[in-house]
Amino acid sequence: ELGEFAHHMRKEYWEQPASAARALKGRLEERFGTARLDGLNLDARAKRAIRRVKILGCGSSYYVGQMGAQMIEELARIPADAEPASEFRYRNPIIDPETLYVAVSQSGETADTLFAIDEIKRKGGQVVGLVNVVGSSIARACDGGIYLHAGPEVAVASTKALTNMALSFGLLALDLGRIRDLSIADAKRIIDGLQAIPGQIDEILRQEDRIAEVAKPLSASASLFFVGRVRGFPVAREGAQKFKEVSYCHAEAYQSSELKHGPLALISAQLPTVAIVPDDELVQRNVGALHEIAARGGPLVAITHAGVDLSGLTAERIDVPKNEVELDPILLTIPTQLLAYHAALALGHDIDKPRNLAKSVTVE
């Protein structure tokens, strides 16, 4: 079933142009500039009554949740944040009837996420799920939700399911935004952006040979940083997570804005940094952080856009196609999947079944 692919991880990231298209299929209402998400089981009045959004998931599903919180805040202007479900369930959380709780899970069987849902429901809260596996325990426990339609995911390192989670958050943000203050013009901009994503993922995957070359020297490092800020920070966190999982190199994500408050002390020729540098309103500040790293001899890889000027810096650059600023994180994440895979391949690791990890964590 692997066909031309040596590993499920690579097969699954190559499936993304098709699987991403499935996440959007039948869910965009171009005429009204909104998303159609009947499975949420929320009418306009219930959606309008939402005062906060709290997103819960574990591992990478939590990092995508951070991406989703940002999309909801930007497009719907509802305060939103993400928290690891594994922490939330143990801290006697305050459950608020005006908060929409969103549980995020590929497998739908992650024990920590399931118990967090139980805690919310016991206290009378409302939970919707972003879940891949149809009929799974989490899907059944939620009051409604959005199925990801990513198809079966076998590799422990999640790729296509995460992309569909991020796209589903884009749809949710659009839906919640359009019953508030998101203009139809902005909504159409987002709809066009979402529709462009499957093709743009394909463009990134076609750069695989070059990304593999960039990955090889990274695999030789004992430790590396992934940095980004604001929209780019969840991308950096997910990039570091993927790199750790399959290459076993220590990878730490940091906000580029925080480097000068401590971690710059670690920068040296032995510690490469993968920087997420979107072409947005923070680009000059991001490029400034790269200069700080370069001045201390730190090797740099920039995942960026063609319009970003990195002159005066010695950096490997990986350019991704430009989308709308709110959606760019979805595309900026794709090269991090390829970097992790090719670093692990260079090291000869068991990529689909990394040591100490299980695909679905059904124990506490």
> Given the rule CB under 6 A, which residues bind ligand M6R?
58-61, 105-107, 110, 113, 156-158, 245, 360-361
Structure tokens that stand for 88 in this block: 């939330």
Comparing every residue's Cβ against ligand M6R, the nearest one is 59
Closest by CA position to 304, among listed 282, 287, 319, 294:
319
Residue bearing tokens 């508030």: 180
Nearest to ligand M6R of 110, 256 (CB atom): 110
Cα 33 to Cα 183: distance, rounded to the nearest angstrom = 9
Cα 343 to Cα 31: distance, rounded to the nearest angstrom = 45
The dihedral over CA atoms of 115, 117, 121, 123, expressed in degrees to the nearest 10, equals 70
Q: What is the closest distance, in whole angstroms, from the C-beta atom of residue 58 to ligand M6R in the complex?
A: 4
Cα 321 to the center of its chain, rounded Å? 17
Q: What is the closest distance, in whole angstroms, from the C-beta atom of residue 226 to ligand M6R in the complex?
A: 14
Structure tokens that stand for 146 in this block: 């959005």
Cα 205 to Cα 213: distance, rounded to the nearest angstrom = 14
Question: Is beta strand 99-105 parallel, antiparallel or unpaired with respect to 52-57?
Answer: parallel
Nearest to ligand M6R of 61, 333 (CB atom): 61
Q: Which residues pair with 303 in a beta bridge?
A: 276, 318
Nearest to ligand M6R of 162, 267 (CB atom): 162
Q: What is the closest distance, in whole angstroms, from the C-beta atom of residue 236 to ligand M6R in the complex?
A: 15
DSSP assigned state of 242: H
Q: What is the closest distance, in whole angstroms, from the C-beta atom of residue 239 to ligand M6R in the complex?
A: 11
Q: What is the closest distance, in whole angstroms, from the C-beta atom of residue 357 to ligand M6R in the complex?
A: 6
The C-alpha angle 174, 233, 158, rounded to 5 degrees, equals 75
Nearest to ligand M6R of 60, 126 (CB atom): 60
Q: What is the closest distance, in whole angstroms, from the C-beta atom of residue 67 to ligand M6R in the complex?
A: 13
Cα 84 to Cα 66: distance, rounded to the nearest angstrom = 10
Structure tokens that stand for 350 in this block: 């068991």
Nearest to ligand M6R of 59, 239 (CB atom): 59
Question: Is beta strand 144-147 parallel, antiparallel or unpaired with respect to 300-304?
Answer: unpaired
Nearest to ligand M6R of 104, 331 (CB atom): 104
Residue bearing tokens 């990134």: 204
Q: What is the closest distance, in whole angstroms, from the C-beta atom of residue 137 to ligand M6R in the complex?
A: 11
Return the half-sphere exposure (C-beta side, CA atoms, 13 A cut-off) of residue 281: 4
Q: What is the closest distance, in whole angstroms, from the C-beta atom of residue 359 to ligand M6R in the complex?
A: 7
Return the half-sphere exposure (C-beta side, CA atoms, 13 A cut-off) of residue 360: 18
Closest by CA position to 195, among listed 25, 16, 32:
25
Structure tokens that stand for 18 in this block: 């098709």
Nearest to ligand M6R of 64, 182 (CB atom): 64
Nearest to ligand M6R of 126, 333 (CB atom): 333
Q: What is the closest distance, in whole angstroms, from the C-beta atom of residue 265 to ligand M6R in the complex?
A: 29
Nearest to ligand M6R of 12, 326 (CB atom): 12
